Structure 1
Amino acid sequence: MYGTNALRAGGFLVGNLFAALGGVFLLPRPAMAPGWADRRRARARRWLGTPAESSPTTRRWLLVNAVTGAPAGLLALLVLANIIVGVIGMTAWWALPAANRPRLWVDLRIDGWGDALGLGIPQVLVLGAVAQYVLPVLARAQARLLAPSGRERMAARMATLTKTRADVLDAHGAELRRIERDLHDGAQGRLVAMTMELALARQAVRDEPDAAEALIERAHASAEAALSELRDVVRTIYPPILADRGLPGALSAVVARSGVPARLDVGELGDVPAAVETVAYFTVVETLTNATKHSGATAATVVLERAGGGLRVRVTDDGVGGADESRGTGLAGVRRRVLALDGEVTVDSPAGGPTVVTVELPCGW
């Protein structure tokens, strides 16, 4: 749409002008600089349409933005402001006191409709063309300059990998403790009880056959309960349905029993590693569970497709939005699983919805 790109570009450039001025005050406050730089980088990435990435280095950003942001932002501010002045000059010059009437181009006062139209229309057209065709190019060029350098991206990647590896080790330890606790408190206790009941039944089988039969029935019930709990533990490690039906079949079952009416769209997947299948499965289970519990959604869509060398999982619901990982909605667990495989998670959940959770998982190992 005409003008939309120009306004976005102008807003981005003017924002960088104020960021350049603010950066001067941040130099003696280094603790505040990274957050400031990352917010401006996020604006640059949205302008370029590239994935989010932060950088621990801010000196280069502050310098580049100071050198390029001030003149580019000042140009954008002057262009947009003079477009407004030109429109006012053409339409409202007569409503202003003579001393306050706007001046166009080289300080020429508007004193009649001839001046207003003769000077105002060319000003608006010329500056409008600059805003429409020059400002987006300028904004894109500056966004590329402000994006992290290759060294900064590598440093950020290493920091992310270090953190995710630590998180994986912590999560692995917590998972082992959970499995041990579930086995000890559940199946193991029931098996011990079953062993004791069978021992008592063996002693009573000759003298008290009725009591022995009751003990055997209790032991049988304990065995069934222990098997059920063992199946539950196994499902949390690797869902058996994945081995039986594959990822599309397993997700079909998940979608069919979802609390929110859901539709599954599966493309050509090819060979998918078991670890990736597991993470994709739990991603869909968790996001549909979140939609059922928290979003108030009436419909959801699960899309599974190959994306380059990886697998993309996208879950969309029409709920109220506002999903927040910090509130313990399960998305943090999804992120930990995905990052453990060097994948990426994007959560787009504005207030009012919809919520879109996109997971990219590498498959080319």
Structure 2
Amino acid sequence: MQVWRSGVYLLVSLASGIATVLALPVLWYPGLARRWANWHRNRAGRLLGIPLEPRPALRASGRRAWTDPATPRDLLWLPVNALTGFALGVPTLLCVGNLVPGAVGTALWWAFSPEDRPRLFVEVAVTGWATALTLGPLQIVLLVTLAYLCFPPVARVHARICLAVLSHSAAEDLADRVEVLTRTRADVLDAHGAELRRIERDLHDGTQARLVAIAMRLAVARQAFSDVPRNDQFVQDLLRDAHEGTEEAMTELREVIRTVYPPILADRGLAGALTAVTTRCVIPTRLETGDLEDVPAAVEAVVYFAVAEALTNVAKHSGATTAGVRVDRTADRLSVVITDDGAGGADPRRGTGIAGIRRRVLALDGTVDLDSPAGGPTTITLELPCGS
């Protein structure tokens, strides 16, 4: 079975080598070269029993198709396929082709005219049964033995050459890995954002609503007891404690909701939320926002908290008279620049504000750059991924 598969593989390789030469003007186009190369690569992988990751089809066109990292290998495979297909396929064809004269010469030599009788070992004409029954089986045995010994290793050589030419380089494997990680990171950000919104919605519409209802009932109960001239002071104290505890729980719950995903982001979006933050700042703050498109919820939350924390630091420590916030998006990167005209000298080691901003941003594979020379001004630049 292995000999048969190897022989078919080599004969198909010979045919594909001929087709490559004939169709070279067409196959020189990168898109067709990629499909032709992928077909050969898949054949080679099946013959060797090696599971291969599929090579994506070439989607770029024009100049971008020629600059694709895999295009040079696809084009290199065209002459390599033609040469190896001929070099390894022609002996296979001769071996298989000479099996036919051996079989015919052994059994049916007498049915041919003297001029057209089969020839064994290329030059020996079959003229009688003695020649047919000796040289015919000998030729068949030799060719079958040759096929058995040579076809599988020769086919594997061709397959390995194919994979060697068409395999990714280490740099391309790394680039593919980075692309996959970038895509999966964007998916994680989207999933994280959806989960944040779900938690905020559940806490706001479920747990908080139930606590509000309990607090209202307790308030009514306290009022009812206070309206009764004779009342149990102990029960009133219990109701008061329960009411106050419920109010404290609601306050804490609101803080949790704001830290998980500020409701203002869900209501007004990132630009609207930042407008509210800069408006509340005690120092006059200028806000500039570009076209932000669709920003993942996790990134929105980090930017919101970072800007709020940075402006709080400006108001408390910088002595600035003005501040500015600029938010721009370029491709899949969101840039946030926070500036003030204060005294400068900001040091993340002397407080938790900037360190907290850095932790939030780095958690999303972002970057933080602080420029705060003594005497000012101070600039904090944040870069965050927001899609792929």
Normalised by the length of structure 1, the TM-score is 0.48
Over alpha carbons, which structure has the higher Rg?
2
Normalised by the length of structure 2, the TM-score is 0.46
